[in-house]
Amino acid sequence: MQTTKQNNSVKSLPGRERVVIENVKPEIDAGRFPIKRVVGEKVLVEADVFVDGHDALACVLQYRHENSSEWAELPLEFLVNDRWRAEFTVSELGVYQYRIQGWVDHFATWRRDLRKRVEAQQDIMTDLLIGAELIERAAERADGPDAESLRDLVHNLRRRRDFSATTHLAMVDDLAPLIARYSERRFATTYERALEVLVDPVKARFSAWYEMFPRSCSPVPGQHGTFRDCEARLPRLSEMGFDVLYFPPVHPIGQTFRKGKNNALVAKPDDVGSPWAIGSEEGGHKSIHPKLGTLEDFRRLVGKAKEHGIDIALDIAFQCSPDHPYVKEHPEWFRKRPDGTIQYAENPPKKYQDIYPFDFESENWPSLWEELTSVVLFWAEQGVRIFRIDNPHTKPFRFWEYLLRRVRQACPDAIFLSEAFTRPKVRYRLTKLGFTQAYTYFAWRNTKWELTTYLTELAQTEIREHFRPNLWPNTPDILTEHLQTGERPIFGSRFVLAATLGANYGIYGPAYELFENRAREPRSEEYLNSEKYEIRDWEVDRPDSLRDLITRVNKIRRENTALQSDWSLRFHSTDNDQILCYSKHTEDFSNLIVTVVNLDSRHTQSGWVELPIHEMGLDPEKPYQMHDLLTGAHYMWHGSRNYVELNPHFLPAHILRVRRKIRAEQDFDYYM
């Protein structure tokens, strides 16, 4: 037999904490990361809570905002199989904490058992004395009238033996809620981790983004646009229903190795260069490209946009052109090659000599982190609250965790969109670390099976606790093969999909409105004459543009709460693989939207869709009205199976609001 190696001191253990709390949900990676909510949302918490033996237990959900030292408390409700549940609402931006506390409730045990003894007609005199002791201790924890009431009960239980057992029971039952308030928590178990909720503004959950190059906004063809020109676009974008206007980088652009039109290796003298080659003698990440205007112009634009309900979102691309002031001022932030030159970006054998990446393994990484953080804080000071982060997956995870926390401390209403088109686990790690929203693989999910499995993963699994998808059918980098081969109809159906599957969605606007589908070369997802390298004049007022469809869909989104979040998304079966059907609803189903999309952009498709009308609270015996919010048409549907037919050249989809009959009067039925 071995000798005892580790003589744990018994006394130091919390030996009388008998309650166990485990399997708390939601909890991400053992509490390492916060879950996410927006202001006004609920947090539904569940846990397994139990105790040895047969004693009753009490347990509560505790929560508080980070600015509060006091925990608010709610009783947990017992479900089944030792599972308990409660929910609280987050009402302020910032971080909330929640945890669970449980304890053996000797009074509840005693009361439960007393009832059984009375029912079995046993002598309860000693039991009354035991109860009196318990209540006396509760009275010691109370004061004022509460203490008084409890002491009266103690007195009655001890002295008034002439009362019947039933009378005693009634007295106890009356005061039980009061006694519960002063329950003995000396040996309470508190869940070992305080879990966190990151509370964002509502726009984190529901937003419509429009991406636009400000330099292409001049009313004079070929001329470099300005922030003033952008101001002129605001009424139109607001009418179309967008609430985020996102600009590629607005900083001075490098000259060294500048790329020409269509990514030519050598630029011509009048080529404007890529906005992502940031930095020149005119400044770096905190400067404005002189041709766009001044910082003052920018602030003015931000203010004007706000007046139209639009937030300006900036692109945060942490990389430098060789001409960036950092290169001279902080050579230690870049990697030096043995030949004395600075390491440019590479994806061997490809070389991107116009871009210097930062070296995050630099000995001077703390000053690099501080400077980059100060870049975001600088734009926050100019009124910007939404940031689209370029390629976050190529910078260290810990860096983002630090930066996001620092910026949020200053601006708890900041929103960060992660542009990480990379492997799933990397993307999820970034949103766990604090990115508010993220681009998705939506652009490449085209078939019914692809859309159903992918969106179900995002909306229905635990991923949704941290990953808020933002669905983009295109970006300046992404013109998918699917869009290239379709015409106007495919742009219509992909738009409806993005805007109804995703409460957050965005388009690279002018190109999308005009269903621009010309690629630079076969198999490329790059646009021909890409705006990344030149100024484009977009005829956005062309009569065949998608403007009207976009405007209508955005209006439908604003008017229907069901479309303003993703968690209720459910796909429904159809008997045609080209017909996709799904629904979203509010918690009480008062707003229930069924969308049916024809995935075939060339041919009319029809089929039967099947709705779970029981879950939807629809009467299988009665007809219900389907109000097509795109066309205004009304259809009467019956039961779970109904027929649909969509001609892509006329209409890409039905967006149907379900209306139930509330009364019939003479010849009219009323639906709400």
Packing angle, helices 125-141 and 106-119, rounded to 10: 160
What's the min distance (Å) between Cβ of 191 and a second copy?
12
Q: Do 380 and 407 contact (CB within 8 A), yes or no?
A: yes
Contact with a second copy (CB under 8 A): which of 352, 360, 454, 608?
A: 360
Distance between CA atoms of residues 27 and 25, nearest Å? 5
Contact with a second copy (CB under 8 A): which of 69, 164, 166, 347?
A: 347
Here the tokens at position 612 are 């779970």
Residues 116-135 that bind a second copy (CB under 8 A): 116-117, 119-120, 122, 126, 129-130, 132-133
Is 17 or 526 the residue whose CB approaches a second copy more closely?
17
390 is catalytic: yes
The sign of the torsion formed by the CA atoms of 365, 371, 375, 376 equals positive
Distance between CA atoms of residues 416 and 411, nearest Å? 12
| Contact range with a second copy by CB under 8 A, out of 278-286, 408-416, 440-448, 498-506 | 408-416
Distance between CA atoms of residues 147 and 127, nearest Å? 22
Of the residues 229, 419, 516, 534, which is catalytic? Answer: 419
Report the amino acid identity of residue 636.
M
Contact flag: residue 286 with a second copy (CB under 8 A)? no
Contact with a second copy (CB under 8 A): which of 89, 263, 294, 409?
A: 409
Contact flag: residue 4 with a second copy (CB under 8 A)? yes
Here the tokens at position 175 are 């005061």
Residues 140-199 that bind a second copy (CB under 8 A): 187, 192
Q: Do 195 and 21 contact (CB within 8 A), yes or no?
A: no
What's the min distance (Å) between Cβ of 527 and a second copy?
25
Taking the CB of residue 235, how many other CB atoms lie within 10 A of it? Answer: 11
Contact with a second copy (CB under 8 A): which of 48, 231, 282, 457?
A: 48
What's the min distance (Å) between Cβ of 132 and a second copy?
8
Distance between CA atoms of residues 638 and 623, nearest Å? 5
Is 125 or 176 the residue whose CB approaches a second copy more closely?
125
Is 8 or 164 the residue whose CB approaches a second copy more closely?
8
Is 410 or 528 the residue whose CB approaches a second copy more closely?
410
Contact flag: residue 666 with a second copy (CB under 8 A)? no
Distance between CA atoms of residues 153 and 179, nearest Å? 10
Contact flag: residue 337 with a second copy (CB under 8 A)? yes
Is 151 or 555 the residue whose CB approaches a second copy more closely?
151
Q: Which helix (H) or strand (E) holds 137?
A: helix 125-141
Distance between CA atoms of residues 45 and 85, nearest Å? 6
Residue 186 CB-density burial (10 A; 0-12 exposed, 13-18 middle, 19+ buried): exposed
What's the min distance (Å) between Cβ of 423 and a second copy?
6
Contact with a second copy (CB under 8 A): which of 25, 141, 286, 393?
A: 393
What's the min distance (Å) between Cβ of 467 and a second copy?
15
Residue 445 CB-density burial (10 A; 0-12 exposed, 13-18 middle, 19+ buried): buried
Residues 98-117 that bind a second copy (CB under 8 A): 104, 113, 116-117
Q: Do 454 and 22 contact (CB within 8 A), yes or no?
A: no
Contact with a second copy (CB under 8 A): which of 36, 233, 324, 429?
A: 429
Distance between CA atoms of residues 136 and 156, nearest Å? 12
127 is catalytic: no
Of the residues 211, 243, 371, 390, which is catalytic? Answer: 390
Tokens 């430098």, residue? 320
Contact with a second copy (CB under 8 A): which of 70, 123, 339, 541?
A: 339
Residues 461-490 that bind a second copy (CB under 8 A): none
Is 103 or 209 the residue whose CB approaches a second copy more closely?
103
Question: 632 in the Ramachandran plot: left (φ > 0), alpha (ψ -120 to 50) or beta?
Answer: left
The residues assigned a catalytic role are 390, 419
